[in-house]
Amino acid sequence: MKTFAIKPIDRSIEDEIINKIDNLTKPKGSLGRLEELALRICLIQHTSTPELKNPHNVLFAGDHGILDEGVSVSPKEVTWQQLSHFSKGGAGINFLCNQHGFRLVLVDAGVDYDIPAGHGIIDMKVRRGTRNFLHGPAMTLEEFDQCVERGAQVVREIHSEGCNVISFGEMGSGNTSPSAMWMYCFTGIDLKRCIGAGAGLDNAGIRHKYEVLSQAAANYSGDDIPESKIAWFGGLEMAMALGGMLQAAELGMLIIVDGFIMTSVILAASQLYPAVMEYAVFGHQGDESGHKLMLEAMNVKAILHLDLRLGEGSGAVCAYPILESAVRMINHMDSFQSVNVTKYF
């Protein structure tokens, strides 16, 4: 597998940053999460005057063999249809990226369809969808490695264009199933609590999904190492996002994590490189059952809780203005000393 040189955050200027935040013209701690986020961004960028530059949302798309087992109400063709829709500019993630100044990058990681050229979709296809992990590994370790490298390549190119803040989205009918499996494998939370409605399953559908995934877990015969579990149960678009996150961390970029699926991706990435978590903030707590539990298991707190379950990077992009406010706070608020205001706390 491709290796990454992800350095733990250098905290040598942490006291300097905290002192700057504490001496802004406000009661200590009164800007709450903005203060926490400002500190995180400053530490990632190793400066007390941080910048957010050229934000990108990278959306990877891929299909899933487990869909053959009826674990989603969303048919497979929706993956390529929505990817095409994104390229035309009229989907949910499009208006959010336009609103908040993000460039949307679309990547075919493994869609089971021949996407025509000329639509602005980057062809990184590893294969036409994963295999059905009920019966064996969804992808080989070699295919997983290809995904990681290709996801990393996309991020390197974006970084070279001056981007230092990035979010990741996904499109793939049925991808809450591999996400639930990664959550189960890497948190130890009971599988039943990892499974939700996805795109809209009813109670009977959720029971069936649990039965299928429970049997898939019982059928696992791979090694007891993270790479094997990631490849066995994962999605091509998820593995590509994993490579993108690891590359972003190596490059010192700020990663905004989206909902249930992307949270499972950084959870899996952290099994390989724990330091990736130091470069991440979590955009929102989604409505998918299990997301709150996964965030709690990772000991992280989301910025927003808007009951979203769209995916695509939507919650991460929605959270971006909060990050901008944190940066504006530390860069543009006066200090008590600079305006001769007596500290009143």
Which active-site residues does the annotation give? 312
* Pick from 76, 43, 171, 61: nearest CA to 110: 61
DSSP, collapsed to helix, strand or coil, labels residue 309 as: coil
Residue 72 CA to its chain's centroid (Å): 21
Which residues, in sequence order, are bridge partners of residue 219?
none
Residue-wise over 219-250: b if at least 16 C-beta within 10 A, else e?
Answer: ebeeeeebbbbbbbbbbbbbbbbbbbbbbbbb
Residue 108 makes CB contacts below 8 A (sequence gap 6+) with 61, 62, 83, 115, 121, 122, 123, 124, 125
Count of CB atoms situated within 10 Å of the CB of 116: 8
Which parts of the chain are beta strand (E)? 56-62, 103-110, 121-123, 165-171, 254-257, 280-282
* Pick from 17, 268, 250, 235: nearest CA to 131: 235
Count of CB atoms situated within 10 Å of the CB of 35: 21
d(CA 5, CA 80): 34
Contact between 121 and 115 (Cβ < 8 Å): yes
Identify the residue whose tokens are 């957010």.
Answer: 52
Q: Write out the two tokens for 300.
A: 């992280």
